[in-house]
A and B are shown apart, each in its own frame.
Chain A
Amino acid sequence: AQSVAQPEDQVNVAEGNPLTVKCTYSVSGNPYLFWYVQYPNRGLQFLLKYITGDNLVKGSYGFEAEFNKSQTSFHLKKPSALVSDSALYFCAVRDPTGFQKLVFGTGTRLLVSP
Chain B
Amino acid sequence: DTEVTQTPKHLVMGMTNKKSLKCEQHMGHRAMYWYKQKAKKPPELMFVYSYEKLSINESVPSRFSPECPNSSLLNLHLHALQPEDSALYLCASSRQGETNEQYFGPGTRLTVT
Contacts and interface: CB of A to CB of B under 8 A. Distances in A.
By size class, the interface of chain A is 20 to 34
B31 interface: yes
Contacts, number: 62
B109 interface: yes
Given A90-B42, A107-B42, A102 B48 contact: no
A99 interface: yes
Contact of B56 (A36, A43, A94, A101): A101
A100 B99 contact: no
Contacts of A49: 99, 101
A45 interface: yes
A95 B106 CA distance: 24
A44 B102 CA distance: 9
Contacts of A51: 99
Interface string B9-42: 0000000000000000000000101000000111
A58 to B, nearest CB: 14
Q: Main secondary structure on chain B at its contact with chain A?
A: strand
Given A41-B109, A43-B90, A46-B101, A100 B41 contact: no
A102 B90 contact: no
A101 B50 CA distance: 12
5 contacts: A41-B109, A42-B107, A44-B92, A100-B50, A100-B56
Interface of B: 4, 6, 31, 33, 40-43, 45, 48, 50, 55-56, 88, 90, 92, 94, 97-99, 101-107, 109
Interface of A: 32, 34, 36, 41-46, 49, 51, 88, 90, 94, 96, 98-102, 104-107
Given A90-B42, A98-B48, A106-B41, 14 more contacts: A41-B106, A41-B109, A42-B106, A43-B6, A43-B106, A46-B102, A94-B98, A99-B97, A100-B94, A100-B98, A101-B48, A101-B56, A102-B45, A105-B42
